[in-house]
């Protein structure tokens, strides 16, 4: 199974936490609840997904179940790229 979590964790740490010195978060942690990513941040995340893996994130895909944790993102990208 392709690993999306590692590059995603690095992206989140580099972009939203100024490196890995920010708060520790687990793969299951909600970005919204932990306040790691705000609303503009989710749009940056979507751009990262589209540019890195060539997926198209549809309007209907913009839901927490797809984007709001590393676990959710892993599942979402797996479905999009390996249906």
Cα–Cα distance for residue pair 43/5, rounded to 1 Å: 18
Q: Which of residues 32-71 bind another protein (CB under 8 A)?
A: 35, 38-40, 42-44, 46-47, 59, 62-64, 67-68
73 token code pair: 């993102």
Nearest distance, CB of residue 39 and another protein, angstroms: 4
- Segments in 1-83 forming alpha helices (H): 5-16, 39-53, 64-67, 70-81
Nearest distance, CB of residue 75 and another protein, angstroms: 16
Residues of the shown chain interacting with another protein in the complex, contacts defined by CB under 8 A: 35, 38-40, 42-44, 46-47, 59, 62-64, 67-68
């Amino acid at each position: 199974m392709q690993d999306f979590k590692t590059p995603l964790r690095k992206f989140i740490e580099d972009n939203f936490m100024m490196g890995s010195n920010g708060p520790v978060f687990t793969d299951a942690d909600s970005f919204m609840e932990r306040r790691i990513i705000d609303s503009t941040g989710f749009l940056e995340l979507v751009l990262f997904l589209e540019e890195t893996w060539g997926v198209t994130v549809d309007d209907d895909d913009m839901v927490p179940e797809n984007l709001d944790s590393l676990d959710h993102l892993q599942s979402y990208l797996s479905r999009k790229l390996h249906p």
